[in-house]
């Protein structure tokens, strides 16, 4: 069995996440290839520094052109918005993987599923109103569907979406694949029929649950470098890996993946899997062919979205404190981890002041076992300067 050290495991993960080496020049192709490798870019409306998906692209491509992403999403339709491990931008080439969730969305027998279906049936006039408006008028924002004459049975919950009937119906139509986000005006979504958004090249064949897992497992392992079954479950299509033990056994028997063993002082338990297409990459890393970088990561970055894995590989405890009361926050509202080589060495509490065009650095925290040497401080300052340049900040201010 192939043996890996913790250091090389980290380096392989960082390499597969495109966070080492020289960043590629921005182009639609570079962004498309990156999203295909990562599997998804998490969407989050919070933009204390910038939108999360934008920061994920910046960390890997440097000062990329956002127009290239817009082209892929809204003109070429090579990417689209759907649910991966959460709301995300995903490749259209993976449509068949996500289509299983669309097909199953209306067929669930759970209590939640029954309640959802009952509400959709009770609000058939609202559903038809939305679809008829889109058919006649093309892509529309949600505010265009507020019609007081349509009889509505209110959606009730204890959360933020209670009473938000149009938003709920749009979400359900999106999850079942009837509608897609066809564009955006700021953060406002423009909704259209999926059939008018998807290009002819979209893979539309229906995959079985096991076939979806067969494809998704390989995407997850390749994006992570090496992974345990529990880490695979948390990545890409989180919680939707039907028949996972059987699929892992099939892929191992076929020689597509191989189990590896963690060795050294920090030996990690469990069975870890490596994809055969990454054996050569690992071997290059083992002989020292690896180029470190220092970058700031979005709090929702793909590298650290699995908190248990982040703790296990990097000994880095990371909790997003956005929803923690200010007085109880340990680090700050919007904190970006600092990746330095193969280590997560600290975190930066910062925000972009759009009025003054200043990138405000509130505080820099280094991990307890990290000595902030001049080299580390210089690398951190350079990473902050690169991010400020991407944000078009006029200045960086330090509290």
* pLDDT tens-digit series, residues 227-245: 999 999 999 999 999 999 9
- Residue 278 contacts residue 225 (beta carbons within 8 Å): yes
338 φ, ψ (degrees, to nearest 5): -105, 115
Q: State residue 177's pLDDT score.
A: 96
Q: State residue 156's pLDDT score.
A: 52
The percent of residues above 70 in pLDDT, for the chain, comes to: 95
Rounded to whole angstroms, the Cα distance separating 316 from 308 reads 9
Q: State residue 161's pLDDT score.
A: 43
Q: State residue 151's pLDDT score.
A: 56
Q: State residue 263's pLDDT score.
A: 86
- Residue 58 contacts residue 387 (beta carbons within 8 Å): yes
Can you say how many angstroms the Cα of residue 325 is from the centroid of all Cα atoms in its chain?
A: 25
Which bin fits 332, alpha (ψ -120 to 50), beta or left (φ > 0)? left
CA distances (Å), origin 158, targets 155, 161, 162, 360: 10, 8, 7, 36
CA distances (Å), origin 399, targets 200, 319, 350, 359, 366: 52, 23, 10, 11, 16
How would DSSP label each residue in 94-130? GHHHHHHHHHHTT---SHHHHHHHHHHHHTHHHHHHH
Q: State residue 105's pLDDT score.
A: 86
Identify the three-state secondary structure at position 146. Answer: coil
Confidence of residue 24 (pLDDT cuts 50, 70, 90): confident
In the predicted model, what is the mean pLDDT of the chain? 93
Q: State residue 162's pLDDT score.
A: 43
Confidence of residue 186 (pLDDT cuts 50, 70, 90): confident
Token pair in block for residue 39: 């599997």
Rounded to whole angstroms, the Cα distance separating 305 from 295 reads 16
Largest CA distance in the chain: 70
pTM greater than the 0.85 cutoff:
yes
pLDDT tens-digit series, residues 45-100 = 999 999 999 999 999 999 999 999 999 999 999 999 999 999 999 999 999 999 99
- Residue 248 contacts residue 273 (beta carbons within 8 Å): yes
Across residues 328-343, what is the average pLDDT? Answer: 97
Q: Does residue 180 surpass a pLDDT of 70?
A: yes
Rounded to whole angstroms, the Cα distance separating 113 from 117 reads 6
Q: Does residue 159 surpass a pLDDT of 60?
A: no
Token pair in block for residue 355: 């009025």
Query: What number of other Cβ atoms are within 10 A of residue 298's Cβ?
Result: 26
Among 371, 373, 189, 384, CA closest to 295: 384
Q: Which residue has the tokens 């002041």?
A: 353
Q: Does residue 9 surpass a pLDDT of 50?
A: yes
Q: State residue 108's pLDDT score.
A: 66
Among 197, 185, 240, 246, CA closest to 216: 240
Across residues 376-390, what is the average pLDDT? Answer: 97
291 φ, ψ (degrees, to nearest 5): -110, 110
Q: State residue 262's pLDDT score.
A: 87
pLDDT tens-digit series, residues 243-290 = 999 999 999 999 999 999 988 777 788 899 999 999 999 999 999 999
Confidence of residue 122 (pLDDT cuts 50, 70, 90): confident
- Residue 294 contacts residue 379 (beta carbons within 8 Å): yes
Helix (H) or strand (E) holding 358: strand 358-366
- Residue 55 contacts residue 301 (beta carbons within 8 Å): yes
Q: Does residue 153 surpass a pLDDT of 90?
A: no
Query: What number of other Cβ atoms are within 10 A of residue 39's Cβ?
Result: 23
Confidence of residue 117 (pLDDT cuts 50, 70, 90): confident
Confidence of residue 147 (pLDDT cuts 50, 70, 90): low
């Amino acid at each position: 069995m192939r043996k890996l050290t913790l250091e090389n495991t980290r380096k392989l993960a960082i390499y597969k996440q495109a966070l080492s080496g020289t960043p590629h020049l921005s182009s639609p192709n570079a962004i498309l290839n990156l999203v295909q490798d990562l599997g998804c870019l998490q969407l989050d409306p919070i933009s204390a520094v910038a939108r999360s998906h934008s920061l994920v692209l910046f960390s890997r491509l440097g000062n990329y052109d956002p127009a290239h992403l817009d082209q892929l999403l809204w003109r070429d339709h090579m990417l689209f918005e759907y649910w991966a491990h959460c709301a995300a931008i995903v490749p259209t080439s993976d449509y068949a993987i996500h289509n299983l969730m669309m097909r199953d969305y209306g067929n669930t027998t759970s209590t939640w599923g029954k309640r959802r279906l009952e509400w959709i049936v009770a609000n058939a006039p609202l559903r038809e109103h939305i679809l008829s408006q889109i058919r006649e008028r093309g892509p529309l924002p949600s505010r265009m569907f507020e019609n007081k004459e349509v009889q509505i049975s209110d959606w009730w919950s204890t959360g933020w979406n209670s009473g938000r009937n149009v938003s709920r119906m749009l979400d359900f139509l999106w999850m079942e694949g009837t509608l897609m986000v066809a564009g955006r005006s700021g953060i406002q979504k423009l909704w259209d029929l999926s059939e008018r958004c998807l290009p002819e090249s979209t893979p539309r064949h229906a995959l079985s649950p096991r076939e979806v897992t067969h494809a998704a497992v390989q995407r997850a392992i390749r994006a992570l470098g090496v992974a345990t079954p529990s880490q695979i479950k948390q990545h890409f299509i989180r919680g939707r890996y039907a028949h996972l033990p059987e699929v892992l056994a099939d892929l191992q028997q076929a020689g597509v993946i191989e189990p590896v063993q963690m060795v050294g002082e920090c030996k990690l338990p469990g069975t870890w899997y490596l994809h055969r297409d990454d054996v050569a990459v690992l071997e290059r890393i083992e002989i020292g062919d690896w180029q470190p970088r220092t970058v700031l990561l979005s709090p929702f970055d793909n590298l650290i979205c699995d908190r248990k894995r982040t703790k296990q590989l990097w000994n880095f405890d990371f909790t997003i404190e956005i929803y923690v009361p200010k007085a109880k926050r340990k680090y700050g509202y919007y904190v970006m981890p600092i990746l330095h080589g193969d280590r997560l060495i600290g975190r930066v509490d910062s925000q972009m002041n759009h009025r003054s065009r200043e990138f405000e650095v509130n505080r820099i925290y280094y991990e307890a076992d990290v000595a902030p040497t001049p080299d580390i401080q210089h690398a951190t300052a350079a990473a902050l300067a690169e991010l400020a340049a991407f944000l078009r900040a006029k200045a960086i201010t330090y509290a």
